[in-house]
Amino acid sequence: MIFECSSKKKIVLLIISLVILALGVFIIFYSSVIFQEGNPWPQIKGIAQLTFGSKDVVKLDIRENKYITKGNNPEIIKSFMRDKGYIFTGQMGSGYLFKSDAGMGAVATHRYFGRFYSLWTITENNNDSDNNLWTTITNDQGIIFQYPKELLAKYVSVAEWPPVIKIETGTYSCKITPQEISSLSDITSQRMVDDRTYCVNVKHEGAAGSVYSAYTYIATKSDKLVKVSFALRYPNCNNYDEDQRKACTSEREAFDIDSTVDRIVQTIK
């Protein structure tokens, strides 16, 4: 009997030791993800609620507007905001813009938490934050259009801005860069944005720890060719310390300029 009791205790201790060892190995290999936001407890608690609960969106801190979702599916946050009385109006950089019937604006900025989860910061304002980000300009050709005064990004900045808009006659065509040579610094591709087709040329040039990317978007509008040109600066995320490097990489993965350009094109008069 004593032998049996001793054996059970040894088995329990062995199981506990293995669990602790497994947790230790897990923390060692995934510490960069676990401690990505500093104190990991809110994220761990949020992941548990997503896994074992029925919610698609979990608030991480009652004092802050930070949320966690599974994967990177913007439709989840759009549905969440719709339930709060907001409609989605567009994406700019890594931010999703919303507006309520009462005229309030909201911005939901996204960043990854590991491979399988996303963190969202939602900022609500009494004013229409969407329109407050945009300004109207008339260029030398007399073309009137709107553009955002700034991009909702910390680690991506404008180098040549506002965009240069040109309207020309001609037939739309797009000479796509073949896949086998797509690693070149001058790449042309065709993209669909809200059922509208764009021919996009991007030229990359490295300088002083950053990459400068010159964009030219071409699309048809009212039987004319519209060209939108601008340049952005992308810093090398590896030049930052660990915390900033993870934030930079996360923002870069979520950053989208296509929707911003599409909205600019739709405002052209």
How far is the C-alpha of 190 from the C-alpha of 148, rounded, in Å? 24
Q: Which residues of 245-268 are buried (b: 16+ CB within 10 A; e: fewer)?
A: bbbbbbbbebbbbbbbbbbbbeeb
Specify the pLDDT at position 137.
94
Dihedral (CA of 110, 122, 195, 211) sign: negative
Specify the pLDDT at position 32.
46
Specify the pLDDT at position 231.
97
Could you state, in order of their start, the residue ranges of all structural domains in the chain? 35-130, 133-266
For residues 142-161, average pLDDT: 91
Task: Read off the pLDDT of residues 195-215 as tens digits, 9 standing for 90 and up.
Answer: 899 999 999 998 878 999 999
Q: CB neighbours of 258 closer than 8 A, spacing ≥ 6?
A: 191, 193, 198, 200
Residue with tokens 């939602």: 122
Specify the pLDDT at position 45.
80
The identity of residue 62, as a single letter, is: I
Specify the pLDDT at position 48.
82
For residues 163-169, average pLDDT: 95
**Fold of the CATH domain 133-266:** Jelly Rolls (2.60.120)
User: Smallest Cα–Cα separation from 163: which of 220, 227, 211?
Assistant: 227
When pLDDT is cut at 50, 70 and 90, the band that residue 37 belongs to is: low
Task: Read off the pLDDT of residues 217-227 as tens digits, 9 standing for 90 and up.
Answer: 999 998 999 99
More confident residue, 197 or 114: 197
CA triple 234-236-241, angle to 5 deg:
125
